Amino acid sequence: MLSGEIESKVNGGKTRTYTSGESWFEAPGAVHSVSRNASNTEPAKLLAVFVVDTQDKKLTTPIE
């Protein structure tokens, strides 16, 4: 997290709040059911780094 706070819920786990300075890892194929700014008034910024293989596969898949 670069600034602010976000709420995230992955693979049916607990909703977690990440704050500025924190980092985390998500396994390939992880399902995000919650991904949002934790504040209604303050912005949040994060830096996402995706490590992928050299095959041309979809990086994300919407859940229906």
Residue carrying the six token digits 């049916």: 12
Q: pLDDT tens, position by position, for the chain (64 residues)?
A: 999 999 999 999 999 999 999 999 888 888 888 999 999 999 999 998 888 776 767 777 777 7
Q: Extract the tokens encoding 37.
A: 């700014």
Angle at 16 between CA 20 and CA 43, to 5 degrees: 40
Q: Rounded mean pLDDT of the chain?
A: 88
Residue carrying the six token digits 């890892």: 25
Q: Which residues pair with 5 in a beta bridge?
A: 19
Query: 3-state DSSP: the chain helix, strand, coil percent, rounded to 5?
Result: 0, 30, 70
